[in-house]
């Protein structure tokens, strides 16, 4: 059993607002949202960050992205079956290391949307 914050959220030891759940992933609302939709998608398996991903994590990563797709649709960020570029869309973010502002050492995909997202990011 790990004391990692997001492992504890996955185990429901710490409350969170669930958005979507699968056998390999869990999606919940960010505590400090940066956009109208700001959802974190995490693998149930502890992986530290994108820089420690290994080939054996392939199934967990595929599920992470498929869960993010489901979140985007549930949140109304894209219209089913349409081109996301023409119908809105969203941003997926993986922070790695202190320089990026990464604070929680458990892999998490930020799903951001519901407003125009500027580029380049800060």
Q: Which residues contact residue 25 at a Cβ distance below 8 angstroms, ignoring those fewer than 6 apart? A: 41, 42, 43, 44, 60, 63, 64, 67
Spatial contact of 44 and 26, defined as CB atoms under 8 Å apart: yes
* Of residues 79-98, those binding ligand 5GP (CB under 6 A): 95
- Indicate if 108 belongs to the active site: yes
* Of residues 46-85, those binding ligand 5GP (CB under 6 A): none
Which lies closer to Zn ion via its Cβ, residue 8 or residue 91? 8
Q: CA 119, CA 122: separation in Å to the nearest integer? A: 8
Q: How far is the CB of 42 from Zn ion (least distance, A)?
A: 8
Which lies closer to ligand 5GP via its Cβ, residue 31 or residue 54? 31
Q: How far is the CB of 83 from ligand 5GP (least distance, A)?
A: 28
């Amino acid at each position: 059993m790990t004391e990692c914050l997001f492992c504890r959220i996955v185990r429901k030891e710490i409350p969170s607002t669930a958005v979507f759940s699968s056998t390999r992933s869990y999606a919940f609302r960010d505590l400090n949202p940066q956009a109208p939709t700001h959802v974190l998608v995490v693998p149930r398996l502890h992986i530290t960050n994108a820089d420690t991903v290994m080939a054996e994590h392939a199934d967990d990563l595929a599920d992470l992205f498929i869960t993010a797709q489901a979140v985007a649709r549930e949140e109304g960020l894209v219209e089913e079956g349409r081109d996301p570029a023409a119908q809105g869309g969203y941003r997926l973010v993986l922070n790695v290391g202190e320089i990026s502002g990464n604070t929680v050492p458990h892999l998490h995909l930020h799903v951001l949307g519901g407003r125009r997202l500027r580029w380049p990011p800060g």
